[in-house]
Amino acid sequence: MSKPRNPYSFPAMLRRGIITENPVLVQTLGMCPSLATSTSVSNAIGMGLSVTAILICSNVMISLLRKLIPDRIRIAAYITLIAGFVTAIEMLLNAYLPSLSESLGIFIPLIVVNCIILARAEAFAAKNTVYRSFKDGIAVGLGFTFALVLISSVRELLGSGTLLGFPVFGANYPDATLFLMAPGAFLVLGFVVAGFRKITAKKEGK
């Protein structure tokens, strides 16, 4: 550490959101959608980007209103705003990406109660400027997407023998359906988190 780095520069925030403070792999937030929507890589990307879009909108909006919203009703105000953005995104997905919205199903409306979004609102957007909150939304959203893609690549590869729908192991691969179901999701999540921590710990020289 030769010179002090600006902790709110975009690269530093990206690094925190995706690696050192990854919402799923490090903070273990948002477990339910991470387990449920990681059955295929395309689902994971769709879910990750939907959450990113909502996170950016809600972070910017909440940061914009942070001095106007009275403290005692802030959670109600946040949830109302988040619910509005989620409903809007759900309608847009229904209209323009119907196959994705069909495969994600109930998990799009459930983004309203996704704790990553409320956590960023409460822990970051409510205390920081609009521009920083905007960057935070991108960083944390991409961190969530990255974690989902990691988990879903393993699950899709083992569970269906494909990656992004393309066959990898050939037609004779016997699908390991376990990995598409909940127990497999927990197994993969555990191993991915362990592997991720091992690698990041090594990098930090611990």
Partner 1 sequence: MPRSYLRLFQAIVTLFIICAFVGGLVGAVNALTADRIFDLKLQKTEAAMRTVMPSGEIFNEIGDVSAYGFDSNVSAFYEALGSDSSCIGYCVEAKPTGFASQITVLVGLSFDGTVQGVVITDCSGETPGLGNRVAEPAFTAQFNGKGATLAFSGGGAPAANEVSAISGATYSSRGVYEGVSSCIRAAISYTNANGGEAK
User: By CB under 8 A, is residue 75 in contact with partner 1?
Assistant: no
Binding mask 90-129 for partner 1 (x = CB under 8 A): -xx-xxx-x---xx-x------------------------
User: By CB under 8 A, is residue 88 in contact with partner 1?
Assistant: yes
User: By CB under 8 A, is residue 162 in contact with partner 1?
Assistant: no
Q: How many Cβ atoms from other residues are within 10 Å of residue 98's Cβ?
A: 10
Number of shown-chain residues binding partner 1 (CB under 8 A)? 31
Enumerate residues 6+ apart whose C-beta is below 8 A from 82: 54, 58, 111, 112, 117, 118, 121
In whole angstroms, how close is the CB of 117 to partner 1 at the nearest point?
A: 15
Binding mask 39-58 for partner 1 (x = CB under 8 A): x-------------------
In whole angstroms, how close is the CB of 86 to partner 1 at the nearest point?
A: 10
Angle at 201 between CA 195 and CA 206, to 5 degrees: 145
CA pair distance 57, 45, nearest whole angstrom: 18
CA pair distance 204, 4, nearest whole angstrom: 17
CA pair distance 16, 26, nearest whole angstrom: 10
Do residues 52 and 45 lie in contact, with contact meaning Cβ atoms separated by under 8 Å?
A: no
Positions touching partner 1 (CB under 8 A) are: 39, 65, 68-70, 72-73, 76-77, 80-81, 83-85, 87-88, 91-92, 94-96, 98, 102-103, 105, 159-160, 175, 177, 180-181
